[in-house]
Amino acid sequence: MQPHAIPDHVPPGLVRDFSYFRSPGMAPTPNGNPQAALSFVHYSGPPVFFAPANTYDGRGTWVITRADDQRRILQNPETFSSYRGIFKAALGEDLPMVPLEVDPPDHQAYRALLNPLLSPKRVDAMEAGARERAVRLIEGFKEKGSCEVMNDFAFPFAVGVFLQFLGVSDDRRDEFLGWADDQFHGTLEKRLAAMRTVVDFMRGLLEQRKREPADDFVGFLLQARIKDRPLTDKEILGIAVLLFEAGLDTVAAALGFDLCHLAKHGQDQQRLREDRDLIKPAVEEFFRAYSTVQMLRTAVKDYDFDGILIKAGDLVSCPTMIANRDPAEFPDPERIDLARDNNRHTAFAYGPHRCLGSHLARRELIIGLEEFLARIPHFRIKPGTAPLTYGGHVFGIENVVLDWEG
Amino acid sequence: MAKVHFVAPDGTRETVEIPDGWSAMAGAVADGLDGILGDCGGAMACATCHVYVDPAWVGALPPPTDTELAMLEMAIDPRAESRLSCQIRVQPALDGLVLGLPARQF
Ligand code: HEM
Ligand code: FES
């Protein structure tokens, strides 16, 4: 894809050869560490810069590196809108992801509606089912002495918990898994086809619930009222599809990065085995050090950012993996300290769109690591294999093959 | 300007001077206080600024809106005196306000 020309208002001194897709360590890399590969930006060059081809379709973006600066951008949705027409571009059908692509003030009403679905109490109620899924998967490969984390554990676990949340029967798990795989890891065509399939599936679920009401997620949305009117079908679809997009790949990738870290750092693994209470802070530290998401915003008016002109129409990227290694925010940011104190990471973003599913995500990671460590003896990366990490719009990891002695 | 006392579950007290018009959350975060996160910057989207208002002070605060009440369900261990500190606007009359910190914010 041809990179777009650098816009005239961007001073040449602020243009940097940087891309989430092509910078060193961003293309699929055996034994890579894509988050660490980007932290050089804190030590050389300007804290805000322009990367000429930094999206999957070759568009330029501003990159905001400092945690504090990112907060300023994300706190200002009047200027930096999160509406991007993600699905319009991909599917030719305008299906705004709700509430992610809705700006304040309208955003608040949708959030208020959805919050209770992912409250700590709801997550408590999901815990037993989630734990049972984790245990079943782990017991399924334990005797083999080896597993591939993403396919054997992380994805089936995240998809299973998601189906539980939707109230969809487990019979459909493999089907779902296939879409998730295509959607998050396939070629562009496969991705588009999978997106369409997901939208069609959710539409089917919606029609079914209209005929046969049930007390589940879609049933709830059909009953729900917002500003004294029911949700439209489009809104319900936008919500359901967003949850699929936001809640699967992220959880699976986090499990993959965390287990890969523990396989490569036997001492950290040992510490968690000896002190289960450390799992919780360790999960937070892994969220910080192995963050995967960037917040992408579009300026809807001109904005003076400490003398830098960000023009209406410019894309502004706030990568969590870079803010989370900001030395101004985290002492010794490259060190992974399982017991890090006062860990104010931004893995779940900042501002009004701050992750809705963070309670569930955290619980899934804690359950996943707890059950894995409780059931699998000391594990390592299987000799002769290498986990494959990559950058991109959402960072990820594949081929995490572990082995252990039975 | 008002002095706001934040009391940790173990009884440790930290006092922060917060300018008028700021939220208690913003003051705590600017001070680097451990125990208030404020991840959403006051948009009532995260509940990581949860506090327990000291019973003596509950009456001094305007009551929570419906949105705040609903959002408190996202906090860990909410109680009757729970508030989101991003919704507490500091003013001279709140000098000496005592806010209890929950054991955890997530
Ligand atoms: C490790 C797991 C996860 C990570 C790292 C993560 C991270 C994030 C981030 C960074 C955002 C902000 C995106 C932006 O502002 O552009 C976000 C938003 C969101 N997340 Fe998560 N997330 C995770 C898991 C989940 C789960 C499990 C769910 C739901 C079941 C979920 C639902 C959402 C929703 C609905 C939004 C949009 C909120 C809004 O616009 O108000 N996430 N997440
Ligand atoms: S700062 Fe997020 S709800 Fe108060």
Give ipTM to 2 decimals: 0.93
Distance from chain centroid for Cα A244: 11
Which of A227, A330, A344, A363 is the mutation pick for testing B, counting most B CBs within 10 A? A344
Whole-model pTM?
0.96
A190 in B contact zone (CB under 8 Å): no
- Round to whole Å and give the CA distance between A222 and A120: 23
| Domain regions of chain B by residue span | 2-100
Domain A12-404 is of which CATH architecture? Answer: Orthogonal Bundle (1.10)
pLDDT at A146: 98
pLDDT at A4: 60
Which alpha helices (H) appear in A186-324, and where do they start and end? 188-211, 217-223, 233-247, 249-264, 266-274, 279-289, 320-323
State whether A352 and B45 contact (CB < 8 Å): yes
Gap from CA of B24 to ligand 1 centroid (Å) = 26
Question: Using CB atoms within 10 A of its CB, is residue B37 exposed (0-12), middle (13-18) or buried (19+)?
Answer: buried
Gap from CA of A307 to ligand 2 centroid (Å) = 30
- Say if residues B42 and B33 touch (Cβ distance below 8 Å): no
- Say if residues A98 and A242 touch (Cβ distance below 8 Å): yes
Kindly give, in sequence order, each residue whose CB lies less than 8 Å from that of residue A345, ignoring residues fewer than 6 positions away: A284, A287, A288, A291, A320, A324, A330
Neighbours of A217 (CB within 10 A): 19
The C-alpha of A338 sits at a distance from chain B's nearest C-alpha, in angstroms, of: 17
pLDDT at A1: 40
CB of residue B78 inside a 6 A radius of ligand 2: no
The nearest alpha carbon in chain B to A109 belongs to B67
Domain B2-100, classified CATH 3.40.50.10130, yes or no: no
- Round to whole Å and give the CA distance between A100 and A238: 9
- Round to whole Å and give the CA distance between A236 and A105: 19
Tell the residue number behind the tokens 């809106």, with chain if given. Answer: B65
Which residues in chain B are closer than 8 Å to A342, comparing Cβ atoms? Answer: 32, 34
**Which residue stretches of chain A have pLDDT < 70?**
1-4
- Round to whole Å and give the CA distance between A290 and B63: 40
What pairs with residue B14 in β-bridges?
Answer: B6
Cα angle value A321/B71/A343 (rounded, 5°): 30
Residue A266 tokens read as 């036997």
Q: Dump strand ranges (E) for A19-163.
A: 29-30, 48-51, 61-64, 80-81, 146-148
Report which bound ligand comes closest to the CA of A323. 1
Angle at which helices A266-274 and A249-264 pack, to 10 degrees?
100
Helix (H) or strand (E) holding B30: helix B24-30
Neighbours of A62 (CB within 10 A): 23
**Which residue stretches of chain B have pLDDT < 70?**
none
